[in-house]
Amino acid sequence: MATLISLFGYSVPLTVILVGIALVIGLALAVMFWITIGWSTYQSVKSDRRQAVSDELQGELLDRVFDPDVDWQSWIAGMSPTERTVLRSLLDEYLRELDGREADRLRELGVALDIPARSQKQLQRRGEYTHLNALTWLTLLERPDEYVDSAFEPRTPRERAATVRLLYESEALDDASEGLSLLLENSVSQFTVFGQDTLYRVASDDPQALLETAAANYQTWSQPLLIQVLTVFQYLGTSVSTENLSWLTATLEHESERVRATAARSLGSFGWRVDIREQAFLERLVNDPAPRVRQAVYEMLASWGDEQSLRTLIDALAAEDDARARLVGTTALAKRQERIDVDISTKLGQTWEWSREHAEYNTAARRRTDQVRG
Amino acid sequence: MAVSSQLFGELFAAFGLAVIGYYLVINAYYLWIHGLALLELRDDVRESNWTPPFRQFASPFYPGIGIIMPAYNESATIIESVQSMLSLNYPELEIIVVNDGSTDDTLQRLIDNFDLQTVDADIPIDVPTEEVRAVYRSTSYEELLIVDKENGGKSDALNAGIWLTDMPLFCAVDSDTIIDRDALLQLVRPFLEQPASAVASGGVIRVANECTIEKGVVKSVELPKTGLPGLQVMEYLRAFYSGRLGLNRINGLILISGAFGLFRTEVVREIGGYRHDTITEDFDIVVRLHRYLIDEKREYTVDFIPEPVAWTEVPATRRVLGRQRRRWYRGMVETVVTNRAMLFNRKYGRVGTVIFPFFVAAEMFGPLIEGLGYIILPLAWYFDILNVQFFLIFFFLTTGFGVFLSWFGIFSEVWSFNRYDSPWQILRLLWYGILENFGYRQWKTIVAWQGLIEYLKGVDTWGAMERSGFKTEDD
């Protein structure tokens, strides 16, 4: 053990070095032990305290929510910090579940708890999550003024989505274009699902506005963002009166299979448009080289559901040589089988039988579920 | 005798130096990974503390998920497992149970409990698995599909589900796994936020022994009272929680637990599904995904999400645990050998140059080197060339550092999504972190050597997992 190690010009016995390292590890272990136990105990005590008041507060809160003459101020006046924390947590939970008068009363409780003023202060602080939590509270309480009166400007995509959501839920948006421009202007990265859902809600009020925004900007968007916007169109209403769908049909020629497939699905909402039901256009779509895109086209045709589309679909499926694409097509077709008055079993063979039988099981199971629910 | 003793002494000294160097490098790597885990966890905790103000169930943007559950002789737990899947909160779900030629009454129990009827039509696509005997649909649950096929192993059963699902994503789960109700809403997050690049995401696996399960839902979380499952709780926290969080920070996750992982169906079909000739299919599939997507020059992410939790029953006896760990070891060697072209290959980026080599060094060679040490040390002592003082200091140093890493994993748990509420449970976990170094760790080195020998002999059996079934409130 007399081994000497040369260190910074000194000769140090190896044992000394090892003992030094052992001391460091020992210290690290002691710190880790006490931090872990300390934090666990703190959390446990906090949780127990909250649990102790939670049930009682929950009952009292529910009683008051249904009382039209509730006086929140006098109820919360004597509450401890723990009780207020639990109450805020219950408020957050119920505001997400309840609508109507009960929700309005809960919003008054939020004001009594001084949440809007606190949220406004949080908007002035730094940190994305601080801003997001503040905007979320203001959305739940439908208090856009605290945001409007503040100097806060959303910077990240999530902050922009949360801000638009606040304005949308509070009916404080001048029009859909305002929300869309806040969401999509200079936007390069994709949305979170919350952002995408917000885009969908805002655009639902005025699909035309999103169509125009997309027509003007789609070429500047990243591929994921373009896919997300196209997906939104898939779920929007069909009453869009714009003349110009050329940008949407142009995306059907995109180099990415995923973009083309999503574009085809989004066209499912526009089945009433004569220009996109032109036979030559459909022929081109059902002959896309990518099976994934053809699958989407089959779903689009089934979603249109008129006689001409279904005939085109059946002919395309009969000629389809990709087994999975054919299966996706027959599955979509089976949802429209009540509109088919010709025998297609011989044309589409076992794939059709498989899809038809599964559709029947789906209907039977749904009927059973409805019966159970009464 | 003197010459051989001198030669042994020199060899021993060289071995000792190599081992010291090895431990320094590996432990520095582990420290780095656990440090990254803390950063990742900080972000995850912040993220989880913010719930966006919208109703997830009313949103149409959640992609459909097919849950694929292979089942081989799982009669004891199959009904509760399926019920657990049926009660999951997710907008669009399909549950495919693949009965992989069970010899017990697994299929009959499914038929009796879920009103199953046979689908008469032939399957219209080629399913690259052992013969599918029948497909059943439930007349009570629209989302439930049962596939009955000849036995072909877990990979084969998973492939049957992957080829038969209509959903763009599939979640591979073990049939003895209970998933938290909102888990899929969390696990799907990478696919929503990176729709063009996310290909896989994995959640946390926790130990269900001693937890109370009611109607497929974990009602109360308890730490196992017996040593072996308790030690595994601590092991899972260190390796499957903290370790994977760190790797996720650098997009270097190369393993998603087979018990709970979400994948893009199309991409897994493109690589031919799970390989039939592997016994650790979960490791193999993720490594192959990395390899395939890098070869194809596609942008992709493989993510680890720390909050969604799946609960699984772990072996409670040394015999069954030994069998499981030998299989894990054999499968690991097999996957490493198969994908050896990735090792130190700059083409595979960080995964090829750092993550995979360190994984091999630590997980594959680590227990072997340690096991070798347990043989050489008594010999060195016999030949009087062992510096006992040095050995003891080194042993306690490495043990101390091992305990530190284990406690780091426990701290990560306490600091974030703590499921063990009582400080007494945490104290017991910390104790397990010390206890595992005296007996359990040494036993695992023997198991690793046995696994290596089995691999070299070409053993390819799966081995049965004996389950006692989940604990319910009536127990």
Distance from CA of A176 to the nearest CA of B (A): 18
* Interval A16-44: pLDDT, tens: 877 888 888 899 999 999 999 999 999 99
Contact B94, B166 (CB under 8 A): yes
Determine how many CB atoms are found less than 10 A away from the CB of residue B468: 10
Mean pLDDT of chain B: 88
Q: Mutation test of the interface with chain B: which of A36, A95, A257, A262, choosing the one with the most B Cβ atoms within 10 A? A: A36
- Cβ–Cβ below 8 Å for A200 and B61: yes
- Per-residue model confidence as pLDDT tens digits over A79-128: 999 999 999 999 999 999 888 888 999 999 999 999 999 999 999 999 99
pLDDT tens sequence across A139-193: 999 999 999 999 999 988 899 999 999 999 999 988 888 899 888 876 767 788 8
In the three-class reduction of DSSP (H, G, I as helix; E, B as strand; rest coil), residue B255 is classed as coil
Interface size between A and B, measured as CB pairs under 8 A? 172
Nearest to B249 by CA among B330, B306, B288: B306
Residues of chain B positioned with their CB less than 8 A from the CB of A324: 125
Give residue-wise pLDDT tens across range B117-129: 999 999 999 999 9
| Mutation to test the B interface, candidates A99, A133, A141, A193, most B Cβ within 10 Å | A193
Closest CA to B247 of B408, B26, B34, B25: B34
Q: Which of residues 272-331 of A touch B (CB under 8 A)?
A: 292, 323-324, 326-328, 330-331
Shortest Cα distance from B265 to chain A (angstroms)?
Answer: 12
Q: Around Cβ A264, how many Cβ atoms within 10 Å?
A: 26
Within 8 A of B52 by CB-CB distance, chain A residues are 132, 136, 161-162, 165, 192, 194
- DSSP β-ladder status, B93-100 and B65-71: parallel
Q: Is B18 helix (H, G, I), strand (E, B) or coil?
A: helix
Percent of chain B with pLDDT over 90: 45
- A282: closest CA among A300, A269, A266? A300
Contact state of A140 with B403 under an 8 Å Cβ cutoff? no
Q: What is the pLDDT of residues B344-400, one digit of tens each?
A: 999 998 889 999 999 999 999 999 999 988 888 888 888 888 878 778 878 888 889
Q: Please state whether A114 falls in left (phi above 0), alpha (psi between -120 and 50) or beta.
A: left
* Residues A361, B403: C-beta atoms closer than 8 Å: no
Among A4, A15, A32, A236, most B C-beta atoms within 10 A, so best to mutate, is: A32
CB contact under 8 A, B407 and A364: no
**pTM for the whole thing?**
0.86
Chain A residues near residue B49 by CB distance under 8 angstroms: 129, 133
Q: Provide, as residue numbers in chain B, all residues whose Cβ is less than 8 Å from the Cβ of A349.
A: 124
Residues A39 and A303: their CA atoms lie apart, in Å, by 56
User: Which helix (H) or strand (E) segment is B68 a member of?
Assistant: strand B65-71
Could you give the CA distance from residue B328 to residue B235 in angstroms, rounded to a whole number? Answer: 14
- A275 token code pair: 């220009």
- pLDDT at residue number B393: 79
Question: What is the token pair recorded at A157?
Answer: 């995509």
Q: Which candidate from B53, B126, B138 shows the least CB-CB separation from A139? A: B53
Nearest CA in chain A to B387: A1
The answer to whether residue B255 scores a pLDDT higher than 90 is: no
Query: Are B191 and B92 contacting, i.e. CB atoms less than 8 angstroms apart?
Result: no
* A25: CB partners within 8 A, 6+ apart: B397, B400, B401, B404
Average pLDDT, chain A: 88
A264 and A300 Cβ atoms separated by less than 8 Å = yes
